[in-house]
Structure 1
Amino acid sequence: MEKISEKFNEGDSSSSDTDDEKKSSPSSLKAKVYRIFGREKPVHKVLGGGKPADVFLWRNKKISGGVLGVATAIWVLFELLEYNLLTLVCLGLILGLAGLFLWSNASTFIHKSRPHIPEVHIPEEPVLQFASALCSEINRAFGILRDIASGKDLKKFLCAIAGLWILSIVGSCCNFLTLFYIVFVLLHTVPVLYEKYEDKVDDFAEKAMIEIKKQYAVFDAKVLSKIPRGALKDKKKA
């Protein structure tokens, strides 16, 4: 009876092991799926979540279209029509003051009472939140640049130099406003397209990354490995 019970226990343990393997196998397969830039969170979480991510991913088409339309109108006014910021602000204030002045006098003449003009003020909390988020991102960028400049990783250094060089070329072709508008349009198009075709883009990115690593290995073997570094290492040891 003891031998029979041991056999049953062994059978139960083996079946539980197979069940555990079946349960763990989907998670292991999911862990092996390549995501671009090593992404582990959904696209919505990567963009920070909340209302800004909803706008960039077109969760509400009216709000996203309105934001993109306002940005396009600003770019057209300042870039194509060549308005200056001070001129546009002064013209807007002139039209606003003239309209309120005429409306107030007309209401006094018709209804014998002055209309109530609402007070306009900028809320303090959203401005402080935006300034805090901007400050943290700038400090984070400075930290990344400091880590790259410390000389720990040659690959990151070369990527940073190439990225800054490409950015300088783009900056010489267009001004800051046009560059900002292009980035704004890309933020409204690239994330939503990536979320829609996520698997195809990740598959293509995985193949491209493998090819880049092969080319970097060839470059390392032919160029970087031939750079003399023995003297520096001997000095450090001494």
Structure 2
Amino acid sequence: MPESITAENLMNNIMETISEGIHKQNSGSLFEEEISNPVASKFNRLFGREQPVHKVLGGGKSADVLLWRNKKISGSVLAGATAIWVMFEWLNYNFLSLACFSIAAGLLVQFLWSNASGFMNRSQVEVPRIQLPEEWFGNAGIAIGRELNRASRFLQNIACGGNLKQFVIVVSGLVAAAMIGSWCNFLTLIYLGFVAAHTLPVLYEKYEDEIDGFVDKLLNRMTHHYKNVDARFLGKMPTRKYWGKKHE
């Protein structure tokens, strides 16, 4: 009788051990899934983004074009920009010649369209007229003026704010931009920005987890190096308050 009780107890212990092992394995798999998805726990989204890329870009037709929702339209826009850049940069077209040839071609098309009815002995066809709304120019001017005033206020606040660190960073950025501008002309810079706007967002949307992780690590390293430079050099520079005290 004691041997049967011992055997039963042994079987119960074995079954309990197996059930506990299965429970731990299931809980461990859930924990591994949380680790394998480190997006929310290990790093933040680029630029503090909380919405999808499509909504960040406006969520309209422009966002559809930038994210290649319609490949024909996006490809046509990028091909048109490339053709314009090739004409001006490689074929040495100038804006005045291209504008005159384009207007002449448009006038020729309207002339043939308006006189085609006379050649074919049909009733006269009304040719559509092209006219741009005046509100577009007013809104564009207001938007450009607003952005220019905002940039001017920002730069003047940096210059007059007395923060030497921000002043050095902004001036260094302007010098770097001037060096980049010396390597290529303004049209090429605009074209490169246009190409970047039509390629980087769609690549980021496709590989956002990998890019966010890489940028987060890079920012952490840059922050670490900046703290070291700040502690050794920038923190020891005299500030505006110190200059005022010394002058007094």
Query: TM-score higher than 0.5 here?
Result: yes
Instruction: Give the match for residue 14 of structure 2.
Output: none
Check the 8 A contact 1:108/1:115 in 2, yes or no.
no
The equivalent position to 1:97 in structure 2, one of 107, 111, 120, is: 107
Cα distance, 1:65–1:180 mapped onto 2, change above 3 Å: same
With the length of structure 1 as denominator, give the TM-score of the two structures: 0.75
Question: Number of paired residues?
Answer: 209
Shift of residue 127, structure 1, vs aligned partner: 4.0
Instruction: Give the match for residue 96 of structure 2.
Output: 86
Measure, in 1, the Cα distance between the counterparts of 2:165 and 2:51. 25
Measure, in 2, the Cα distance between the counterparts of 1:134 and 1:175. 22
Shift of residue 106, structure 1, vs aligned partner: 4.1
| 1:234 maps onto 2:245 in alignment | yes
The equivalent position to 1:200 in structure 2, one of 188, 210, 224, is: 210
Measure, in 2, the Cα distance between the counterparts of 1:89 and 1:61. 29
| 1:179 maps onto 2:189 in alignment | yes
Measure, in 2, the Cα distance between the counterparts of 1:132 and 1:32. 42
> Alignment identity in percent?
50
Measure, in 1, the Cα distance between the counterparts of 2:56 and 2:148. 18
Measure, in 2, the Cα distance between the counterparts of 1:34 and 1:77. 43
Q: Report the aligned-residue RMSD.
A: 2.7
Instruction: Give the match for residue 22 of structure 1.
Output: none
SS of aligned partner of 1:111: coil
Check the 8 A contact 2:65/2:74 in 1, yes or no.
yes
Q: Which has the larger radius of gyration?
A: 2
Measure, in 2, the Cα distance between the counterparts of 1:157 and 1:41. 33
Instruction: Give the match for residue 35 of structure 2.
Output: none
Structure 1 residues 117-126 or 31-40, which shifts more? 31-40
**Mind listing any 5+ residue stretches in structure 2 that lack a counterpart?**
1-38
Structure 1 residues 118-127 or 207-216, which shifts more? 118-127
Instruction: Give the match for residue 20 of structure 1.
Output: none
Measure, in 2, the Cα distance between the counterparts of 1:133 and 1:183. 20
Measure, in 2, the Cα distance between the counterparts of 1:165 and 1:128. 33
Check the 8 A contact 2:113/2:127 in 1, yes or no.
no
Instruction: Give the match for residue 122 of structure 1.
Output: 132
Check the 8 A contact 1:78/1:84 in 2, yes or no.
yes
Check the 8 A contact 2:43/2:213 in 1, yes or no.
no
Instruction: Give the match for residue 24 of structure 2.
Output: none
Check the 8 A contact 2:85/2:188 in 1, yes or no.
yes
**Mind listing any 5+ residue stretches in structure 1 that lack a counterpart?**
1-28
With the length of structure 2 as denominator, give the TM-score of the two structures: 0.72
Cα distance, 1:74–1:62 mapped onto 2, change above 3 Å: same
